[in-house]
Structure formats: C-alpha cells, structure tokens
Amino acid sequence: MVFVSNVFLFLFLPAFLALYYAVPRAWRTGVIAMFSYAFYGWWRPDFLLLILFSTVVDFVAGARIAAGHAAGRDPRRWLLLSVVMNLGLLGYFKYTNWGIESFNALLAMGGAEPILWTKVILPVGISFYTFQTMSYTIDVYRRQAKPVARFVDFACYVAMFPQLVAGPIVRYHDVAEQLREREHSFDKLSVGALRVMIGFCKKVLVADAVAPLVTATFGLQAPTAADAWLGASAYTIQLYYDFSAYSDMAIGLGLMMGFVFPENFDHPYISRSITEFWRRWHISLSSWLRDYLYITLGGNRHGVTRTYLSLWLTMVLGGLWHGANWTFLVWGIWHGGLLALERATTRTVQGQRVALPQPFPVTLVLVMIGWVMFRADTVSDAMRLYVGMIGLNGWGLSDTVAWQLQGWSLTMLAFGAFFAWFAPWYRDRAHAAPLEERQRLNLAYLVFIPLFVAGVLRLSAQSYSPFLYFQF
C-alpha cells in the first residue's frame, strides 16, 4: 500500500484514525502496530514473518544486552547476533541477485556456463527497518538507550506505517518516551494533516509531472547537451520532491498520532558544499552513517589518512545501501571523494574545521552529476548522458525529446526549481516576522487544500505511482 492511493487516503487512514482515537490511550500503541502490519502485508503478507522475526530477535537481544550490563558481563555476543542477523537478511534479500549476476558475467567472459538460480524478491522497506532495529541494539549496548519494556512498544517502533517503507530512519531513543506517553491535540492533528497534504501535492503535482521528462531523456542513445541537462535537471527535481514528499507525509502522519519524528530534509539544493548538502539531504540516513559506520571505522581519531579513508568508505557503503547496482557504488565513490577532498581543503574557524564554501551553482552541478549515475540503470547508460552533457552529440534539443515535451511537465519543472530555492527564504521570513505578519504568511499554506483536491483528481486519473525510494 502506498500513501498516494485512494485506498490509503479514503479507506485505510480514516479507519485507522477513527479506531485510534476511539480506544483508550493504553491501547493506542497496539492499534498502531496492528494497522502497521496490515499496511505492510497489503503487498506481500508472507513478508510479515520476516519483519516479525527481526523484531523478536532484536527485542530479545536488547533485553539480554541490558541484563548483561546489569550483571557486569560483556553482552557483546548478543549485539553480534543482532548485527549479523540484520546485515545477513539485508545482504541476502538485497544483494544476492546482483552478486550472482555479476559472477555470471565473469563466467560468461571466460566461456563458462552461468549459475542458474531463482531471483530473490526484495521486501519493501527492509533497508529502513533493519537499520532501525540494529540501531536499537547498538544504542542499548552503548548505554545510550534503555531497553524497551513492552514488546508491543518495540513492535510499534519497528513497523510504524508512516515511516516503515522509506523513512525517515527513526532511532529508538528519539521516540522511546513517545511510545509510552505522547500528547494528542487538535493542533498536532491539524498541522499533521497539512503536512500530509503538502507532501501529497509535492509528489503528485510536481514529482510525477516531471517524471516523463526524465524517462524520455535517460532513454536516449545519443542525447544532446540540451537533452542531457534537461534530463539531469528534471531528475534532480523529481527525486527531491518525490522523496521529501514521502518524508513530509510520514512526519505529518506521525503528528496525527501524537509522534514527533525528526526532519529528513532541510532545503538541500541551497547548499554551498557537498558537506553541507549531506547535512541537509536524507538527514536521518547521513546521521545514521556518521554515528554507526563512520565513527565505528575510526572517524577522525586515527590521523588524516585514516579519516579520509573512513569518510570515503562510509559513502561507498552508503551508496551500496541504496541498491545492488554498480551505479550506486560509483555514486557513493563520487560523493565520498568529494567529501574527502572538501575535508582536505578545510580551514579552522573559531576552533571548528569548516569546509571552504563553493559558489552555489558549483555544488548543485556536482550533485546533479552524481544524480545521473544514481538514476541510470547501468554505468554505460550514465556515460551516455555524461557524453551528451559535454556536447559531444550536439547542443540543441533533439527532435526525439522536443515532440515529447509537454507544457505541464515544463511548468512543474520550473515551479519545482523555483520553490526549491524560494522556500527557505519564505520560511526564514515567516519565522522572523512579527506575530500578525507571521499569521498572515501562515495562511498562505491554505492554498494546499485546493491543490490537494486537484492532486486527488489527478491521482484518480493516472496509473499506480509508487515513491522512488520504495526500490531501496
């Protein structure tokens, strides 16, 4: 089930909210868990066994780790069980096909017969919920979180449907108190509903509108410079509005249940360095990689060379986390190299190491170059776009793309680009304005009500449109 569907908006969500607010407060966490399993099982009920298995193992491991600490013993074996189990499940379901296909390609080069196998189906959301459950046992081991007392609380935390499939990655210690007791108010409910509408409009009216431009340009065999840059620009807007839309809807749904989830995006395209970009893009993942991978690899504690290596390797593994494809590996290498280069050119300001800021367009272009590799099906496909971007196939718009251009797609591309850079200014002005002006500015958000209605009508007229990050 996806958020941008009539089944979710007009059947699942109303039924959930009606029951959630009808039952006593003590039962509400259980209602969330029950509906979350129904939400996840809508696609493949058998994969519920997988998420339940992960939940039970990490619940027991967390309890045994805490018991070991209390008894003065080293409970490392329970942490190892959790990490091996989570990474093992992730590795099997996400990377088996890629590994065998890559090995078969090597066999074919040597003239050998390929290995025959049945393709493994990737469970939706496994990248996100395995990271969540693994962070819980690591935090308990590090004494940064107390073990959960009730299994229903942990089951709710792992399977909570607003952020189960595509994040944000919520750490247990951020919501531990909220699982036990949280505030419910009309303000939270209304703000959450508005946030859901904003995310819905970003997805249906912007991301889906520019998607045909992306498909048309990335499928070209010999794109011109205009084709390639149009495609890269369209995908830059599509991915941001698609993924931030899911995060907006997840955060809004959480507010409607009384939860406050961490923000996942902070206007990343205004960044003036790649370091700043990763503080603003997919914040929950970048902070997870920093705290559980970069620091574990040594961070900046073992000299300059080790620091660069740890930073680069973190991004390479972060690239592979997104998917089992050489394109994601190359994308991770690209960003890891840029981050290491920026760190090598940092300067010290008031005792803090600060990356030298790049002109705004430079950072954006570097990000866009990376997005081409991220979007392409193969490295060869990405190279075709890169060849086009430097003008080796000509500069003007090709006839193949020109006849497919639609006014709505181009309008939404321009609209999306404008608001990607205008929104931070509007937000800062609203926060700094006097109370009366701030109230007037906030009324502008009411425009999302008719836009939401228009989005629902558009959704009803188009085909199934899942979020891009469902594939990760």
* pLDDT score for 422: 76
CB 280 within 8 A of CB 292: no
Q: Are strands 347-349 and 352-354 parallel, antiparallel or unpaired?
A: antiparallel
Which residues contact residue 102 at a Cβ distance below 8 angstroms, ignoring those fewer than 6 apart? none
From CA 49, how far away is CA 11, in angstroms rounded?
25
From CA 332, how far away is CA 317, in angstroms rounded?
7
CB 252 within 8 A of CB 416: no
Determine the average pLDDT of the residues in 111-119: 85
Which residues contact residue 463 at a Cβ distance below 8 angstroms, ignoring those fewer than 6 apart? none
More confident residue, 95 or 463: 95
* pLDDT over 90 at 435, yes or no: no
Listing DSSP states for 194-215 in one string gives: HHHHHHHHIIIIIIHHHHHHHH
* pLDDT score for 347: 65
Determine the average pLDDT of the residues in 2-31: 91
Catalytic residue status for 184: no
Average pLDDT value for the chain: 87
Both tokens assigned to 241: 């509005």
* pLDDT over 80 at 17, yes or no: yes
From CA 370, how far away is CA 193, in angstroms rounded?
34
Residues 381-406 have pLDDT tens digits of 999 999 999 999 999 999 888 888 88
Nearest partner of 170 among 65, 66, 287, 64, judged by Cα: 287
Partnered with residue 392 across adjacent β-strands are 394
Question: What's the helix, strand, coil split of the chain in %, to 5?
Answer: 70, 0, 25
Which residues contact residue 126 at a Cβ distance below 8 angstroms, ignoring those fewer than 6 apart? 50, 89, 90, 93, 94
* pLDDT over 60 at 444, yes or no: no
pLDDT band at 104 (very low <50, low <70, confident <90, very high): confident
* pLDDT score for 269: 93
* pLDDT score for 116: 86
* pLDDT over 80 at 471, yes or no: no
* pLDDT score for 357: 63
Which among 69, 173, 282, 322 is annotated as catalytic?
A: 322
pLDDT band at 377 (very low <50, low <70, confident <90, very high): very high
* pLDDT score for 61: 95
pLDDT band at 358 (very low <50, low <70, confident <90, very high): low
